[in-house]
Structure 1
Amino acid sequence: MSSRTISVVTPVHPPHVRFLSEAYESLRAQTLPAGWDWEWLIQHDGDCDTALPFVDARVKFATSPAAGEACTRNMAVARSSGEFVRNLDADDQLMDGALERDVEVLLTHDKVGWVTSGARDLLPDGEVVSWAFDDPAEGLIEPGWTLDTFIENEWRLPVHPVTLCVRRDLLIAMGAWMGLARSADTGLLMALQTVSAGYFIATPSLLYRKHAAQVTAQNIHNDPVDKKLRYGMIIDRARALNDLWSRLTQPTTPR
């Protein structure tokens, strides 16, 4: 009997290749419900001449023309076969039980389309510290709450989008990761929360590595003009989806 699968997708570019071994070890340590297994879709952004030392049939490596993180992640999704898709950036690590908790929530709550969870920052000296912001209470996240909170708190996210696990069919329907050079994960999260309830798992699932080469550490990521443009697009898209979704789901009036 074949197992059911959760797909873990990882975009990688040269500065982050050195972290993949630690990401792999965190995957190997994962437990899953009976009858489940994981596959790891690593997608290198551009040509790669580095041989990866993973002798594991569940690890599926490919390259694609350099196109940025969002497009690279989407190419990994295109190769995936799982019912659920979990994000794992190349420089991060899953914490014990992360995938099992994701799967159990999505199996238990059939109206929940996506899951996020707590995270811990992994500092350059190896110290692990709490995320800088307060997490919501564990449980269901109603559609619209994530966007409203994001706007009310002046673009501060109430949940960590890099911890996202989502039903593959919903991910594809939403266009997968948003085609932005930065904040593509926020763009996807805001689209998902428009049409589907989510769930927050309080138990931390991810070690989020802080280092000088990460995307969020670059000056352009926090440039006020760039940020206003990309967050404006994310909010406009979510609002447009909400308006369209509301019209399409209203009962039609007979002529």
Structure 2
Amino acid sequence: MKISIIIPTYNRAHIIVETLNSVSNQTIKDWECIIIDDYSTDDTDTTVGEYLSQYPDLAFRYMKNERSKGAQGARNTGVDRAQGEFVMFLDSDDLLLPFCIEERLRIVEEHKGYDYYCFTTYALMPDGSVKSKYKLCSPDSDDIERFLKFQNPWHTMGCIITKDAVNTVGYWDEKFARSQDSEFYLRLVLQKNLRGYKACHLSYDSLFRSSYSQASVSRSSVLSNAIQDTYYTYLNKVRKQLNDLGLWAKYKESYVYFSFYIYSRFLMPKGKMEDRFFNIYVDLMDEIDVPAYKKEIYRLYFKHRGSKAVMNSRILRLFFKSIPKIFILPSSREMLW
């Protein structure tokens, strides 16, 4: 059994060697590592080439795109070339602990028959400390609800997936400018015919950097129009998926949270709210009669259209913090109706 580790990279010559070292230092060699350079303009190709020449016996493969495809396109290229039974998506500044692959394959052997396996990842802070940020919770936690509430239960590299399951899910959506990870994994957990195992009892086996200032494959300079297009597509896509799967009644309140979070976190800071988005929220307000939700959307919509004062960071923070107050726990939800 082998895992194909897929690493998309863009202008990471200064840091990718640390990531490659963490792969090289695995306690077992049942892996291949496919590095997809998304048309970097720095010395990534030279840096990676020199590194790979030092380890000719290790299963590294490097290829450079002839044009930029973004992180999703690079990952899809890696999937097409993967020869392992499982694939794992690693960013070019992530780190695997030495036992990561061995422990994950041990779990697969002990719990056979699943299509994907999820593990705990911690954040590597700028001061060198580690911090828990993604929590698998209990094996019975509702992962669909958690993804809808942007409480992702695992990090991008926290999951290994059979290549067949990736084909079933439909690869990464290359049109998405943001939230690609959430979108991909939400599609994964929405697949009724795919089963996942969550290794909640294990400690963390990998680290992601909590912040960085250099360029990444996700391209922080993506135009706001592309970001708005992404979230418009996301809102409609998820609702259609829930309807098609007969899950709308069960998750419609989580979807309200999902839409509210997108509005407050991503859409409102990008400029004036377009009518196409407002129509989505009006439709939700007609179907889900939550007075607090109606009040907030209308108030912020008209303030946003009529005054730039709403862009004040303090107001944004207050609005963002109001989400858990509006969408409270089910035990006291009757207070909203």
TM-score band (shorter)?
0.7 to 0.9
* Alpha-carbon distance in structure 2 between the residues aligned to 1:241 and 1:63: 38
Residues 229/219 of structure 1: CA separation in 2 closer, same or farther (3 Å cut): farther
- Structure 2 unaligned residues grouped into runs of 5+: 248-337
Aligned ranges for residues 12-161 of structure 1 at < 5 Å? 12-14=9-11, 16-32=12-28, 37-46=30-39, 50-51=45-46, 52=48, 53-54=51-52, 55-56=55-56, 57-64=58-65, 65-131=67-133, 134-137=135-138, 139=139, 145-151=142-148, 153=149, 155-161=150-156
* Alpha-carbon distance in structure 2 between the residues aligned to 1:47 and 1:127: 30
> What is the CA-CA distance between 1:125 and the residue it aligns to?
3.1
Conservation of the 8 A alpha-carbon contact between 2:35 and 2:63:
yes
* Alpha-carbon distance in structure 1 between the residues aligned to 2:30 and 2:154: 26
Tell me which residue corresponds to 2:187.
Answer: 191
* Alpha-carbon distance in structure 2 between the residues aligned to 1:121 and 1:83: 27
**1:90 aligns to what SS in structure 2?**
coil
> What is the CA-CA distance between 1:43 and the residue it aligns to?
0.3
Residues 72/219 of structure 1: CA separation in 2 closer, same or farther (3 Å cut): closer
Aligned partner of 1:162 among 142, 157, 160: 157
> What is the CA-CA distance between 1:140 and the residue it aligns to?
6.5
Conservation of the 8 A alpha-carbon contact between 2:169 and 2:188:
yes
| C-alpha distance after superposition, 1:14-46 (max 9, x if no partner) | 1x23222111111122234xxx61100000001
> What is the CA-CA distance between 1:177 and the residue it aligns to?
1.8
Q: Give the structure, 1 or 2, with the largest relative contact order (CA under 8 Å, sep 6 or more).
A: 1
Conservation of the 8 A alpha-carbon contact between 2:147 and 2:182:
no
Higher strand share: 1
Structure ID, larger Rg: 2
Tell me which residue corresponds to 2:252.
Answer: none
**1:18 aligns to what SS in structure 2?**
coil
Tell me which residue corresponds to 1:207.
Answer: 207
> What is the CA-CA distance between 1:157 and the residue it aligns to?
1.6
- 1:235 lines up with 2:238 in the alignment: yes
Identity %: 23
**1:172 aligns to what SS in structure 2?**
helix
- Structure 1 unaligned residues grouped into runs of 5+: 245-255
**2:204 aligns to what SS in structure 1?**
strand
Tell me which residue corresponds to 2:274.
Answer: none
**1:17 aligns to what SS in structure 2?**
coil
Conservation of the 8 A alpha-carbon contact between 2:71 and 2:217:
no
Conservation of the 8 A alpha-carbon contact between 2:122 and 2:130:
yes
Please report the RMSD computed on the Cα atoms of aligned residues, expressed in angstroms: 3.0
Tell me which residue corresponds to 1:177.
Answer: 172
Residues 222/95 of structure 1: CA separation in 2 closer, same or farther (3 Å cut): farther
Conservation of the 8 A alpha-carbon contact between 2:70 and 2:218:
no
| C-alpha distance after superposition, 1:175-230 (max 9, x if no partner) | 22222222222222112212222122242122111212357894879999567435
Conservation of the 8 A alpha-carbon contact between 1:74 and 1:176:
yes
The count of corresponding residues between Structure 1 and Structure 2 is 230
| C-alpha distance after superposition, 1:1-22 (max 9, x if no partner) | xxx32100000001x2322211
Tell me the TM-score normalized by structure 1. Answer: 0.77
> What is the CA-CA distance between 1:237 and the residue it aligns to?
6.0
- 1:6 lines up with 2:7 in the alignment: no
Higher helix share: 2
Tell me the TM-score normalized by structure 2. Answer: 0.60
